[in-house]
Amino acid sequence: MFEKSHSITLLFNASKVYDRQIVEGIGKYLQTSRADWDLYLEEDFMTRLEHLDEWSGDGIIADFDNPAIERALTKAKVPVVAVGGSYQNKSDYPEVPYVATDNYALVEAAFEHLKQKGIERFAFYGAPVNPQHRWAQERERAMLELTRKEGYECYLYRGHAVRPETWQYSLKRLTDWLRSLPAPTGIVAVTDARARHLLQACDHLGLLIPERFSVIGIDDDELARYLSRVSLTSVKQGCFDMGFQAARMLHRQLQGMPVTKAPVLVPPERVAERQSTDYKAIKDPLVMQAMHFIQHNACRGIKVDQVLDHVGISRSNLEGRFRDERGHSIHTEIHNEKLNRACKMLKETEEPATEIAELCGYPSIQYMYAIFRKHFNQTPVEYRQANRPQSLEDVPDKTLPKFAAL
């Protein structure tokens, strides 16, 4: 049996991936609990901030990263659960139950990922100081603190706010900064959107990624991932878990049960590793050039001869250099690049195996099946099933929540 029905207002920007994933977590809690909520989600609520405290309903879950929303709800007459970023200064937290993405842990995951690649120079591409983007300053502080503790210098650049009329100027200033950095450098971007700026600037300048700059973002936003030729490594936030926990906290309040006053910090879910940080310490510039060509073209069905034509030296010369640097042949490097791309697509997408075989440059689905049986003793489908991440999102659906929107 369900409990008494409650009308709940969600104050989130449904156009943002971060907010949508939090709302999904809220919905999943309702599907797995006895709560009977009528959810009200209005995309344009910012136009009525002055009257938020007068809205009817039994409870509110809101994004408190925007100080205007926090201020508007200070006099709310119903229970409020806030969602937002973590703060190093405890006094910055609101005086309501609060679920936060752990900004320090997000940056630490990105930093540790780059360190594990053998990178010893670091930079941070942040964002201009903005009261509505307090999380950006928190991530910047975290990066500076982490590098200082480890004895590394961190090159910092905040860049400019993105606007159509100033975009070309901003891109030029970003390229100036990139030219000033030593190579190789690992760059942590404050968001995936900012990371995409880096990939675009490097593409314009002909700077190799990840050989010269290894780039990692935060959000694991599919839009940013597919809008550049180099696939972006990113730290996936625990947004789904944040929404789930926020809904559980509000549910407890509505039942008259106690709720913790301490902020609940949600760690990152994982680092989604892709091409932009596939860094290997290569000293030979010709092998580096060949590797860059292979990474961009292996799935187009290239052969060894095309790599030789691109680099412009004899097969025996490049094969010898490859074995010295990589420990295997050029053909094996092409093979490994295609196989790694297929593995990532099986783990991270819902594309059918036949489509993945074509996208990764295999002549047929049967050939890809033979490759997977040889390397993993599994079919591609079995590999996908065995390597799917387990999370709250895997909880089976029960009853769908009710939504209302204007």
Express each pLDDT in 210-223 by its tens digit.
Answer: 888 999 999 998 77
- Look at residue 106 and tell me whether its pLDDT is greater than 90: yes
Largest CA distance in the chain: 77
Residues 122 and 158 in one domain: yes
For the chain, give the percent of residues with pLDDT over 70. Answer: 90
133, 209: one domain: yes
Alpha helix positions (H), 255-395: 285-297, 304-311, 315-326, 330-348, 353-359, 365-376, 380-386
One domain, residues 303 and 349: yes
Task: In whole angstroms, give the CA distance from residue 199 to residue 243.
Answer: 31
Task: Specify the range with the lowest mean pLDDT, choosing from 2-16, 108-122, 342-356.
Answer: 2-16
**Where does the pLDDT of residue 392 fall: very low under 50, low under 70, confident under 90, or very high at 90 and above?**
very low
User: What are the structure tokens assigned to 159, written together?
Assistant: 């860049």
- Same domain flag for 45 and 147: no
Are 70 and 169 members of one domain?
A: no
Pair (123, 229) in one structural domain: yes
- The answer to the question of residue 202 being in a domain is yes
Q: Is residue 404 part of a domain?
A: no
User: Are residues 324 and 358 both part of a single domain?
Assistant: yes
Question: Looking at the structure, do residues 217 and 327 belong to the same domain, yes or no?
Answer: no
- Domain membership of residue 145 as a residue range: 103-236+272-277
Query: Is 329 found in the same domain as 259?
Result: no
* pLDDT tens readout for residues 293-310: 898 899 998 999 999 999
Any domain includes 391: no
Residue 390: pLDDT over 70: no
Structure tokens at 153: 């210098």
Overall domain count for the chain: 3
pLDDT, tens digit, for every residue of 85-98?
999 999 999 999 99
Residues 257 and 296 in one domain: no
Whether 401 maps to a domain, the answer reads no
Is 399 among the domain residues? no
CB 196 within 8 A of CB 174: no
pLDDT at 265: 97
Q: What is the model's pTM?
A: 0.75
Between CA 45 and CA 347 the distance in angstroms is 37
